[in-house]
Amino acid sequence: MKDFLPKVNSYIKEAFSAGKYLFDGFTVTFDHLRRRPVTVQYPYEKLIPSERYRGRIHYEFDKCIACEVCVRVCPINLPVVDWVMNKETKKKELRNYSIDFGVCIFCGNCVEYCPTNCLSMTEEYELATFDRHNLNFDNIALGRLPTNVTTDPSVKPLRELAYLPKGVMDPHEVPPSDVRVGKLPEEVYDWMKPEVNDNRDPAITPKN
Ligand code: SF4
Ligand code: SF4
């Protein structure tokens, strides 16, 4: 009897502890049941990238003036602008332009600073290749129109999980005609404008 009671006591403590661990485990499991899925059935389904997605760069050869600003602002001087000087016209003649997407960090500096807007970031993100040298895009490859998830009939475009309506757990349930939750960047800017103007410090407000 003397040994029996401590043993029962220890057994109850262990049973209680095991129950607590089970409860903790189920808490995590049930918590995940309420969360949105984070995977899609790629490549049959694809997420629609956000408006400011920085994908493969598109380049327009005819607009480029070979100024090399894109090279100077690139953190790794990546774009290769191949031009020759025409001695008769005393103007640069562009021969080729290339960007190696195996090295590019998609920072968008070149797009931001190009004076003729001949560079733009697309929403194309499928750049996988078996040979890294194939990632070096010349002006013809860069000029190809980008693929688009929403216009590709072979895939089902899914709305970004972050933009699903409140309470909707599954992106498959939302009809494409439904208004997108969240604001577009320009809408956010418009919405912020009065507030920004109201809170502006007169000391730092530029004078016209
Ligand atoms: S900055 Fe624009 S215009 Fe100038 S070389 Fe680069 S792509 Fe061409
Ligand atoms: S996106 Fe950035 S890293 Fe890539 S070429 Fe342009 S400036 Fe260079």
Query: Tell me: the pLDDT tens digits for 92-129?
Result: 999 999 999 999 999 999 999 999 999 999 999 999 99
SS3 159: coil
Task: Give strand ranges (E) for 13-145.
Answer: 45-47, 57-59, 80-86, 91-100, 119-121, 136-137
| Residue 182, in any domain of the structure | yes
**Residue-level length of the chain:** 208
Ligand 1: residues with CB < 6 A are: 64-70, 81, 114-116, 118-119
100 CB-near residues (< 8 Å, 6+ apart): 78, 135, 136, 137
Average pLDDT, the chain: 85
Q: Categorize the per-residue pLDDT at 206 as very low, low, confident or very high, splitting at 50, 70 and 90.
A: very low
Q: Categorize the per-residue pLDDT at 157 as very low, low, confident or very high, splitting at 50, 70 and 90.
A: confident
Q: Are residues 168 and 140 in the same domain?
A: no
- pTM summary value: 0.69
| Residue 122, in any domain of the structure | yes
What digits encode the pLDDT tens for the residues 3-42?
A: 888 899 999 999 999 999 999 999 988 887 776 667 788 8
Count: domains in the chain: 2
Q: Are residues 61 and 136 in the same domain?
A: yes
Instruction: State the CATH number of the domain containing residue 123.
Output: 3.30.70.3270
Q: Are residues 87 and 143 in the same domain?
A: yes
Q: Which residue has the higher pLDDT, 58 or 175?
A: 58
Q: Are residues 140 and 88 in the same domain?
A: yes
State which of 68, 91, 92 you would mutate to test the pocket of ligand 1, scoring each by most atoms of that ligand within 8 A of its C-beta.
Answer: 68
Q: How far is CA 139 from CA 29, 37, 62, 126, in A?
A: 51, 39, 10, 18
Instruction: For residues 157 and 172, give the distance between their C-alpha atoms in angstroms, rounded to a whole number.
Output: 9
CB of 103 closer than 6 A to ligand 2? no
Prior bond to 115 cis, omega within 30?
Answer: no
| Residue 177, in any domain of the structure | yes
Instruction: For residues 63 and 73, give the distance between their C-alpha atoms in angstroms, rounded to a whole number.
Output: 19
Closest ligand 1 atom, residue 67 Cα: 4
| Residue 55, in any domain of the structure | yes
Please give the residue range of the domain that contains residue 186: 160-202
**What is the DSSP code (8-state) at residue 88?**
T
Return phi, psi of residue 8, to 5°. -65, -40
